[in-house]
Amino acid sequence: MKNTYTYLLAAAALLIFSCNQGPVKNITKKSKKRQPVNYANYVVEIITYKIKKGVKQAEYNQLDSMVQKSYTQKQPGFISKESGIDQQGNLLVILSWDNVIHANADEQLFVKNPLWNGMQKLIDTATIGRKRFFVNDDHSSSLKDLKPYVIEIATFKEKSQVKRDTFEKRDQQIEADYISRQNGYITRRVGRAENGERIMMIYWKTIADADAGIKDFKKDQSVVDYYKMIDWPTVEMKRFKAIN
């Protein structure tokens, strides 16, 4: 009887101790998971260049794919990469990062990576152009199943007398009431650089759709006020066919 009583006391003490410790958690080895992306103000880098004369597009595409899989998409803060080519053979790379720290780190580290040596043999480094924009809204949907499509990139500034908030509010209205209703429209992404330059990336199904969109825009009376806000001498527009 005494042994039974002692056993019950021990069992009760163990039960009380277990309750005080809270629920038992499974202890597993921590896995390296990507932190949730903060789309409130992420970074988009627009990089353009040409491949060297004599280099085949297929050769470049193979190395570019290797760089993305073995390096770029493994970098902290990486969100996405898009590529395109225009009618003059200019190549486009759009890199999206979750913040400027990670964007800076990639730019500094890649030139020290052996893969960069291989890229320099294929691309004309004198033609490289690189711009960075902070994007505070993301209208992009999954585009991987929509190819082929066209990426229209316009960079510009609003006129100096136009207030930033005024322009951005009207820009949102233009997207909802006009741009998004055009034939062949897929989606749009907008951003702003530290120097005030803006970027508008519009995704179209075809070049013909993009042509019609800009042609109608210039003569549509409902957007005249928006048209007049733009400092047109600063406008630069390019179109690329998505290639990856």
pLDDT of residue 184: 94
Closest alpha carbon to 58 in 138, 122, 153: 122
Provide the strand spans (E) within the chain. Answer: 42-51, 78-85, 91-97, 123-135, 150-158, 185-192, 198-204, 230-242
Tell whether the model's pLDDT for residue 16 goes beyond 80. Answer: no
pLDDT of residue 193: 94
Provide the strand spans (E) within 159-228. Answer: 185-192, 198-204
pTM for the model stands at 0.80
Lowest mean pLDDT among 101-110, 121-130, 218-227: 218-227
pLDDT of residue 29: 43
Summarize pLDDT for 66-79 with one digit per residue, the tens.
999 999 999 999 98
Q: 214 pLDDT band (50/70/90 cuts)? A: confident
pLDDT of residue 217: 86
Please say whether the structural domain 37-136 has been given the CATH code 3.40.50.720: no
pLDDT of residue 216: 83
- Domain ranges for the chain: 37-136, 140-244
CB contact at 8 A, 208 and 184:
yes
Fold equal for 37-136 and 140-244: yes
Per CATH, which fold does 140-244 belong to? Alpha-Beta Plaits (3.30.70)
Summarize pLDDT for 25-57 with one digit per residue, the tens.
443 444 444 444 444 578 999 999 999 999 999
Task: List beta partners, residue 83.
Answer: 93
